[in-house]
Amino acid sequence: MPADDADTEADSEPASDEFDPASHPGDLASDGGDGAREVSDALPRSDDQLAEAVETALSGRSEVVAVGVPIRLLPAVLAARVRSSGAPWRIACRPGVVDALSRALVLGTAVAEAVERDELRVRTGEPFGHGTGGTLFASHDRADVVVGPRGERSLATTAVDSDTGTDSCAEAVAGAHAAAAARFDAATVDPVGMPSRRRLLAAARATLDDRFADDLATVLASLPPGEFGRTTEPSDRTLLVALAARHDHLFRDLRTWVGVDGVGIAPGQEFTGDRQALVNRELIESIKVPMGPGRPMLRLRAVDDGLLRARAEEVPSVLRGRFELPTDADGRVRNDAARGERRPVWERRRL
């Protein structure tokens, strides 16, 4: 268990998170052409017509096999799987995708949940084919391949019609399905480095309490998949610290729950910077307990009325609003920014 001494608490530097272009040429994980290496870099995308087309095409199908799936399309695959049944879908993601999920609280826990329920089987493999979008979805009666240049991707479909289908269509679909299955079988088994939501929430109830777990469940259900990644500000760690402070939890207990000996979201020592950022922005405070003799620990306590009174699903908006305010060199919200329109009338600029 990591030390939680209030006077001597120190963090090691977080592990390097650099993207290696030699290992993943062309940024296979995001398919965005912008060097994205995290889920938060590729998602969310407003009005993503390709993702909508994929979700529509896959919904209700069975025994889907997919290869070359980028982060961008994983939420669509998950949404379609919820509306489908039958054997688990076999999904071979592009290199870097599963690794990025280990730093994506919302999408990573959702994918891990689907894997735990045996709804998805996730592996890592190379994109499909050359001169295409590199992504293929196939079942026994239909094949959909992503085509077109970057920024103009679309879905090309070949389907077998039981009434009017030709032998050539049936052969094409069968060939695509066989090719996808072979690619999946050759792909690398790559476990998702996030706990499933069931495991995450069960551990939260055991280590923290039901109120915290209920808040977290509500927040995860309300957030888009690309929100609160590891590299955003506020990050997923910031969100978890803020939720814990709403219920006066010990910082040690939070770190025990999230750390390598708990659910393994991130090393516990990495949360100190996020705690301090919340303190600097006057959202929470850290109280040493016990006050008398004994080794002190830190109790997290929310002090901002907005954070305290917000419904669970409103907490992300409260955090974003405060983190958008300018800060000084010490990371504290500038006095003029915090006061806003509460400045004395003589300091306000005349219109």
pLDDT for residue 294 is more than 90: no
pLDDT over 90, % of the chain: 62
- Return the CATH number at 172: 3.30.870
Q: What is the pLDDT of residues 87-101, one digit of tens each?
A: 999 999 999 999 999
Final residue in a domain of this structure, among 189, 217, 238? 189
pLDDT for res 2: 44
Structural domain contains residue 6: no
pLDDT over 70, % of the chain: 78
234 and 266 belong to one structural domain: yes
73 and 98 belong to one structural domain: yes
Structural domain contains residue 25: no
pLDDT for residue 163 is more than 70: no
pLDDT for residue 129 is more than 90: no
The residue among 351 and 95 whose pLDDT is bigger is 95
Look-up of token digits 């993207």: 19
Final residue in a domain of this structure, among 162, 189, 216? 189
Structural domain contains residue 46: yes
pLDDT for res 199: 97
Structural domain boundaries, residue 88: 39-189
What is the tally of structural domains in the chain?
2
Q: What is the pLDDT of residues 141-158, one digit of tens each?
A: 999 999 988 888 899 999
Structural domain contains residue 148: yes
203 and 182 belong to one structural domain: no
46 and 145 belong to one structural domain: yes
Structural domain contains residue 143: yes
The residue among 209 and 128 whose pLDDT is bigger is 209
pLDDT for res 106: 94
pLDDT for res 193: 92
94 and 215 belong to one structural domain: no
72 and 158 belong to one structural domain: yes
Say which range, 36-50, 313-327, 337-351, has the weakest mean pLDDT.
337-351
pLDDT for res 152: 85
Q: What is the pLDDT of residues 1-14, one digit of tens each?
A: 444 444 334 333 33
Structural domain contains residue 266: yes
Q: What is the pLDDT of residues 178-206, one digit of tens each?
A: 999 999 999 999 899 999 999 999 999 99
